[in-house]
Amino acid sequence: MNRVEKLIQNYERQVSLPWDHALSGPQRVWFAVYDKTDERRLRARVGEFELATKQSGKKWVLHDLTDSFAHWMSANEYRESYFESPEDIELALDDFLAHLAEQAQTIFNGKADQQTVIALLGVATLFGLARVSSLIQRVQSDIPGRLLVFFPGEYDQNTYRLLDARDGWNYLAVPITFHDKTQAS
């Protein structure tokens, strides 16, 4: 069994457990941690995560962040000046993060309830633009069911590292890995 198959199997186990609706926001977040080299394999099999979710009696909403920056930039009134002076984009990245959080809120309020897994795909495209931890912190208190973050990187003792490159951050999310051991919540 390859790493992605094992991750799917561990996710099936996690999503099938009874859900405690009294959990705090950070405890409603699941990180599906996979090796960054498995990105294409994982994307090809995202439908299996959806199937496992629905077979457990839960709902599924997928939100792909891959093109979020391009869409946000194309609608930004200052885009031309950012292209002329790319270093100035740093000033607007907090607006980009707020935009991402607003998109998540729209999904939480319109498409999700306490029985819904909202899956975020494409968080690697945020690298260098926005921190995943900052996005999660902005939306965690409003997660109605569970937020599944497909996370290409590493997990070790509650520390997550996106693309194995940044200093990690401690987080209370439930890790789902391709290893045999997966925490329950």
Residue-level pLDDT at 148: 96
Residues in the chain: 185
Reported as a single tens digit per residue, the pLDDT across 60-103 is: 999 999 999 989 888 887 677 777 776 777 778 889 999 999 99
Q: Give the model's confidence band at 183: pLDDT under 50 very low, under 70 low, under 90 confident, else very high.
A: very low
Reported as a single tens digit per residue, the pLDDT across 38-59 is: 999 999 999 999 999 999 999 9
Q: Which residues pair with 120 in a beta bridge?
A: 63, 149
Q: Which residues pair with 66 in a beta bridge?
A: none
DSSP of the chain, one letter per residue? --HHHHHHHHHHHHHHSPP-TT--GGGGEEEEEE-GGGHHHHHHTHHHHHHHHHHTT-EEEEEE-TTHHHHHHHH-TTHHHHHHSGGGGGGGHHHHHHHHHHHHHHHHHHT--TTEEEEEE-GGGGTTT--HHHHHHHHGGG-SSEEEEEEEEEEETTEEEETTTSPPEE--PEEE-SSS-----
Q: How far apart are CA 98 and CA 138, in angstroms?
A: 8
Domains observed in the chain: 3-14+27-176 (3.40.50)
Whole-prediction pTM value? 0.88
Nearest of 125, 185, 173 to residue 152 by alpha carbon? 125
Reported as a single tens digit per residue, the pLDDT across 119-156 is: 999 999 988 888 888 999 999 989 999 999 999 988 87
